[in-house]
């Protein structure tokens, strides 16, 4: 079975992703020059975006990861945020850039930002590849983002449904019959 058969249409092409990641990287490099930020990737969804972003940023920086979930194998957030893997570095006094695949309801990122603020960083910024404002439940905005997208279920380039489709080189809209079963 070919997973491409599950995709209704391509929303963002591989080429558009490459161009936008460079634009975001350039902005961040200017804003954080001489600040040695920590880029905090939120696993698993951000890993492809973050890898591409890091290869395009030409400033001194550190990288760390957290595993946070609120979806499980569902198409919508449960609202309950669970930290499966915490930071391995101290962020007190450091500039933190949270790298996420998608800002959807905002519940997870809002929780995470508040959680990290208790560790006294110098600043926290949010960098997300996709922004889906129609689904926002929490009052949070990305400082850096790639694409505003419509209220459709998207996969690819790290984003998944039930751990599938992360390896697609583009962002695609998943056919509703796949996630409504």
Known catalytic residues?
Answer: 104
- List, in order, residues 6 or more apart from 51 with CB less than 8 Å away: none
> How many Å apart are CA 38 and CA 45, to the nearest integer?
18
**Which residues make Cβ contacts (< 8 Å) with residue 18, sequence separation at least 6?**
52
Q: For residues 51 and 35, what is the distance between their CA atoms, to the nearest angstrom?
A: 20
Pair of tokens at residue 165: 């489709």
Query: How many CA atoms does the CB half-sphere of 156 hold within 13 Å?
Result: 22
Cβ count near 117 (within 10 Å) = 13
């Amino acid at each position: 079975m070919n997973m491409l058969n599950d995709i209704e249409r391509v929303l963002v092409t591989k080429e558009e992703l490459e161009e936008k990641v460079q634009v975001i990287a350039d902005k961040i490099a200017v804003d954080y020059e001489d600040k040695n930020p920590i880029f905090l990737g939120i696993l698993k969804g951000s890993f492809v975006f973050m890898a591409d972003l890091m290869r395009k940023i030409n400033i001194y920086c550190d990288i760390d990861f957290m595993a946070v979930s609120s979806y499980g194998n569902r198409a919508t957030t449960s609202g309950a945020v669970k930290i499966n893997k915490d930071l391995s570095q101290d962020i007190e006094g450091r500039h933190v850039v949270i790298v996420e695949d998608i800002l959807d309801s905002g519940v997870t990122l809002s929780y995470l930002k508040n959680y990290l603020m208790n560790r006294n960083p110098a600043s926290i910024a949010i960098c997300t590849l996709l922004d889906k404002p129609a689904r926002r439940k929490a009052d949070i905005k990305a400082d850096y983002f790639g694409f505003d997208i419509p209220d459709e279920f998207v996969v690819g380039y790290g984003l998944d449904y039930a751990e599938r489709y992360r390896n697609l080189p583009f962002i695609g809209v998943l056919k509703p019959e796949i996630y409504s079963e």
